[in-house]
Amino acid sequence: MMAKIESAACLGIHAYRVEIEVDVSHGLPQMVVVGLPDPSVKESKERVRSAIKNSGFRFPPEKITINLAPADVKKEGPAFDLPIALGILAASGVIEADQLKNHIFLGELALDGSLRPFKGAVVIAAGLKNNYSFVFPVKNAREGCLEKEAVIYPVNTLQEVIQFLKGEKQIEPLRSSNFSPSSTISKSNEGGKDFSEVKGQFFAKRALEIAVAGGHNLLMIGPPGSGKTMLASRIHTILPPLSFEESLAITKIYSVAGLTEDYGLIQNRPFRSPHHSISQVALAGGGSWPKPGEISLSHGGVLFLDEFPEFRRDVLEALRSPLEEGEITISRIKTQITYPARFLLVAAMNPCPCGYLSDRQKTCRCSLGQIQKYQSKISGPIVDRMDLHVEVPSSTLQTLTSEEAAENSETIRQRIIQCREIQAARYPDRLFKVNAFMRARDIKQFARPDSEGRKLIEMAMKELRLSARAYYKIFKIARTIADLAESENISSEHLAEAIQYRSLDRQWWG
Ligand SMILES: Nc1ncnc2c1ncn2[C@@H]1O[C@H](COP(=O)(O)OP(=O)(O)OP(=O)(O)O)[C@@H](O)[C@H]1O
Ligand SMILES: [Mg+2]
Ligand SMILES: [Zn+2]
């Protein structure tokens, strides 16, 4: 006898339907899985066999053929255990085909028949909720119903699924009605870090505020111990809150990667800080079954690259297109997977191998050749995409021991929230909502300086020999500075401040 059962899988953050056909026929007892399954699907045979027996059903001692369709997409993961088991029980007459209709089944089986969660539940719910309801392990059911209007039956064991399908047990579906899609998610400051702990460093803090407010990438340069890592590890405390839609978009990426915490909604903007030994695949995403990389796990948040010149060049090159496009496409022989990757890039480095070039207290021991070699590592396309360059000098003992209270993170964050609102109102029907993504024609429309400002920028162009790219960046940064000051006009003061954040144009590449 034959049975068909519906299941699903994720391709990136999109869902597709997988149909599972099970045929039980006379012949030597054996179980064959066809249709491009991954080894983890093949292993499901043993789990399914034990789970069926241990749930009190008879495992048919016959020839069982299982086909996963469409056959041209590779199927990954143990989540097909449940539909395969149900298919076998349907094909051997335990349940009727009708009882399986309009449901999508997924879940990994333990040998005793209990169900374990799988990756990507919220993505599958989002993609297929219009035509199906879902039978998911309890944990996934909670995650799946983050998606509005999805109907999900939470189950614990294979036996419970059978009782439910036969009508012997009522299960109340979970619905997402208690979530309002436009509600703003509050953000907690975990770890208790705060900008008030950083003494002095007003210039760097101001640059970080501008960077976060307008979405401008930032590079910090300074000697060892000057507080670059300390500053960066507090960025998350000034990030604006996420809307529900943004939270959901981030949760989908984490769900597919199997990284959601207890299958709930991700409510904080990500802050990712990969080590400089990271591979290109781990940073950009990929693998035989393309997983999201650090750049996608930073979507909506911050990617911090500490010790920037230590990253491999090919790894940094992989950042180029996502920095432009806000997403990354990973190509495989038959498929292409696109993951979102719109993040704020923050990097930190020493100015030279020993770290003390231009330090006020210690002298640099590096040769000119060493310095040039070191700095050339970060030259080119990636540094070109750094909007703000900030020098972070070492602090004096007097600053470090001062008792003067510094501004706390929440005060800075409130200014950023306000500034983001101003920007969102300026770009009501654009995909982008921050100044960093203005194109040349937007700059003409929204970031025109007054005549005094124009004179200033012309002079700066000549004196500092700024590139065309730097020229546009200065306008975008000045727009954010003006927005932070709640000023409609961009004044020469705003521009003068913006020019200060282009120290690399002046020093090394001028
Ligand atoms: N402005 C400051 N206020 C308070 N503490 C500071 C400040 N600057 C540095 N520190 C202290 O010095 C420590 C070292 O700073 P941090 O690790 O951030 O330096 P860094 O710039 O990242 O150095 P490296 O280039 O070696 O990575 C901090 O953990 C902190 O305790
Ligand atoms: Mg550091
Ligand atoms: Zn040096």
Give the model confidence (pLDDT) of 168-191 as tens digits. 999 999 887 555 444 445 555 656
Of the bound ligands, which one is closest to the alpha carbon of residue 369? 3
Which pLDDT tens digits describe the chain residue by residue (510 residues)?
A: 899 999 999 989 999 999 999 999 998 999 998 887 778 777 889 999 999 999 999 999 999 999 998 877 777 778 999 999 999 999 999 998 888 889 999 999 999 999 999 999 999 999 999 999 999 999 899 889 888 889 999 999 999 999 999 999 999 998 875 554 444 455 556 568 999 999 999 999 999 999 999 999 999 999 999 999 999 999 999 999 999 999 999 999 999 999 987 788 999 999 999 999 999 999 999 887 789 999 999 999 999 999 999 999 889 989 999 998 999 999 877 778 999 999 999 999 999 999 999 888 899 999 999 999 998 887 777 787 899 999 999 988 888 888 888 899 999 999 999 999 999 999 887 777 899 999 888 898 998 888 888 899 888 888 877 777 788 899 999 999 999 999 999 999 999 999 999 877 665 432
In sequence order, the 6+-apart residues with CB closer than 8 A to the CB of 158 are 51, 52, 55, 82, 85, 109, 113, 114, 115
51's tokens: 């789970």
Class of domain 2-165: alpha beta
Half-sphere exposure of 354 (CA within 13 A, CB side): 13
Which among 197, 203, 229, 404 is the best mutation to test ligand 1's pocket, defined by most ligand atoms within 8 Å of the CB? 229
Pocket mutation for ligand 1, best pick of 195, 220, 230 (most atoms within 8 Å of C-beta): 230
221, two tokens: 């340069």
Determine the pLDDT at residue 156.
97
* Distances, alpha carbon 21 to alpha carbons 1, 83, 113, 125, 490, in Å: 11, 10, 21, 22, 65
- Which ligand ends up closest to the CA of 223? 1
State in Å: Cα 236 to ligand 1 middle.
Answer: 17
Taking CA atoms only, the protein residue closest to ligand 1 atom 4 is 198
Distance separating alpha carbons of residues 319 and 344, to the nearest angstrom: 12
CA 182 to the chain's CA centroid: 20
Question: Helices 121-128 and 244-256: crossing angle, nearest 10°?
Answer: 120
Nearest protein CA to atom 7 of ligand 1, as residue: 227
Inter-residue contact 105 to 80 (CB < 8 Å): no
Q: Ligand 2 centroid to 229 CA: how many Å?
A: 4
Q: Which pLDDT value is given to residue 509? A: 37
Residues in contact with ligand 1 by the CB-under-6-Å rule are: 198-201, 222, 224-230, 350, 355, 395, 400
Q: Ligand 1: which of 226, 361, 398 to mutate, judged by most atoms within 8 Å of the beta carbon? A: 226
Q: DSSP letter at 404? A: P
Would you kindly state where each structural domain of the chain is located, as residue ranges?
Answer: 2-165, 190-429, 438-510
Q: How far apart are CA 361 and CA 26, in angstroms?
A: 85
Report the CATH superfamily, name and number, of domain 190-429. Answer: P-loop containing nucleotide triphosphate hydrolases (3.40.50.300)
Using an 8 Å Cβ cutoff, are 176 and 148 in contact? yes
> How far is residue 366 CA from its own chain's centroid?
39
CA of 222 to the centre of ligand 3 (A): 11
Atom nearest to 200 CA in ligand 1: 1
- Counting ligands in written order, which one lies closest to the CA of residue 194? 1
pTM: 0.92
CA of 354 from ligand 1 middle (Å) equals: 16
pLDDT of residue 416: 97
